[in-house]
Amino acid sequence: MSARDVVITGIGLVSCAGEGIEAHLAAYEAGEAPRTDAETYAPYPVHPVAPVALDTQIPKKSDQRQMEGWQRLGVYAAGLALDSAGLKEDAARKAALHLIVASGGGERDYAVDGAILTGLRDAENPGAYLNEHLQNDLRPTLFLAQLSNLLAGNIAIVHGVTGASRTFMGEESAGVDALRIAHARIASGQDDAMLVGGSYNAERADVLLVHEMGGFLQKPDYRPVFSRGGEGNGGFILGSGAAFLLLETAERAAERGARPFAVIDAIANDRVRRKPGSVAEALPRLLREAGVERPDVVLSGATGVASLTEEEAQGLKAALPDTRIRATGDVIGHPIEAVPSFGTAIAAALCAAGKAREVAITSVGHRSGEGVIRVVTA
């Protein structure tokens, strides 16, 4: 390794597979169907997060109460990553630590939404009615809790990570860009360390509605990601969870005696104009740009949407015909912005456990955005 190689020294994971590195490696190796709830939001299955003891990472009940589910998961996983990196009690290093978060928006107040929509039907002036009730009925705290950058703020408050923070929005591409920017800043010497990751709460009727309107959801039962085409359009099964990584230079890790899990060697991404065949054409190019050579496995963030997933399989087989492909959706579901961080974390864990020397992580967004991340042994 060179001094400015970007290494992963901390990993924090929570999902339907459980909590921590060992639980996710075990789920990956078991190859069984992930924990699925097909009843609560039928006909739409979701992968609910495993129970976690929030008090261990978010000690104050008042902090827990003012966060929504996706924020609690993110703050929890960020704490796990700091623990894993050996920085949880290092106030000075945390104060200088920069943070990048990839996340979507917050959650809705269903009761207020329903009342407003009901009243809107008979309102003499619908525009005025809507403005009045949005201003008066929605709690200010609810609106603030919907802001994606509040996750970064809560990580700062709870864990003392008070360096500069950035929040990326933009579905799966946001997760790739969060890692790409963190990697580039560290590799170039602009920063020495960054905490980066994302979180998602899938157990929400509003997000299921949004994605069903776009025709993106798998239903009514779980099927493996690469087997969701058939006669239908396939789709993804949303998964609740969060993944955070502590990235730093190899030199800085060595100075403080931290043992890296793996090296993020390169990240390539694009936003090609989607048309038939565009994903199959883009992936081999991105694999070359990321320097992918002979990976032991490809960890695919494929959604399960039939056309895109079929094209991804074609592109990967054309570029890496003898390489095994595993879908992270078959381990933790599809937590949108957090997908690339989960894939990178599992890849790093495989490298650290001696189960792989090179892993390629792919991300093909359900609307747009393609990315490849190359992880190698430290």
φ/ψ of 51, rounded to 5, equals -60, 140
Q: Region 108-136: what's the mean pLDDT?
A: 87
Amino acid residing at 54? L
Confidence of residue 143 (pLDDT cuts 50, 70, 90): low
∠ CA 356-348-159, nearest 5°, is 165
* C-beta separation of 165 from 152 below 8 A: yes
Q: Whole-prediction pTM value? A: 0.93
When pLDDT is averaged across residues 47-72 and rounded to a whole number, the result is 94
The tokens for 170 are 């933009």
Specify the range with the lowest mean pLDDT, choosing from 141-150, 184-193, 259-268: 141-150
Q: With 60 as the cut, is the pLDDT of residue 145 above it? A: no
Q: Which residues contact 286 (CB under 8 A, 6 or more apart)?
A: 268, 269, 270, 370, 371, 372
Alpha-carbon distance of 43 to 232, in angstroms, equals 15
pLDDT above 60 for 124? yes
Candidates 117, 48, 75, 18; CA nearest to 244 is: 75
The pLDDT assigned to 146 comes to 61
**Helices 69-85 + 149-159 axis angle, to 10:** 50
- Region 62-79: mean pLDDT is 93
Judged against a pLDDT cut of 60, whether residue 194 lies above it is answered with yes
Q: What is the pLDDT of residues 73-97, one digit of tens each?
A: 999 999 999 999 999 999 999 999 9
Would you say residue 260 has pLDDT above 60? yes
DSSP-derived 3-state class of residue 146: coil
